[in-house]
Structure 1
Amino acid sequence: MDSVLVFKLIEELAYGQSIRERRRYYKIGGAISDDTINQSNYYVVIGQWCKNITSDSAIKSWQRIADHIYKAVYEQKRVVAYNGVYG
């Protein structure tokens, strides 16, 4: 997916979130746009990012945000594909 579309989507998703959560949205969005993270490895990558975090709630926050982003990215790809723009 085009990185510009990913960041526009991230801006919408992160709107109204705390500063900490917005940073997480943008870090995950950046990793998606440069193909560091994909749908099959994002829990592994986030697990590596969180390896020094001892708070279960913080780890769950990362996972929740990643799930939120991937659901939105999947929906966006489906809409764009339906409109014949994405191949």
Structure 2
Amino acid sequence: MNPELVFKLFLLLPMYPLILPWGKLFTWGAIIGWFGLWGGMFYVLEINSTHYSSNVIGLELLIAASIMVLSVSVVVRCLIHKIYMKVING
């Protein structure tokens, strides 16, 4: 697989909670993204435990950063929603 494509995918996936509409789609998208990234992390760790990788920045670090960005984007989206609802409801 093309490393640039993987890099772009892991940069875009955690940002989806910022553009998803609020509701069930947001909830399911965040849950699927969260468990998908953790599944990817464990898969990569399993592969790299048997093979030596000489990458300067390993895929594990990229996935871990994506998990952190996903967490932050979900929290930011929740705060935006709370502020928006407070302004709308007075």
What is the TM-score of this pair, normalised by structure 2?
0.44
| Structure showing greater relative contact order (alpha-carbon pairs closer than 8 Å, 6 or more residues apart) | 2
Q: Which has the higher helix share?
A: 2
Larger-Rg structure: 2
Tell me the TM-score normalized by structure 1.
Answer: 0.45
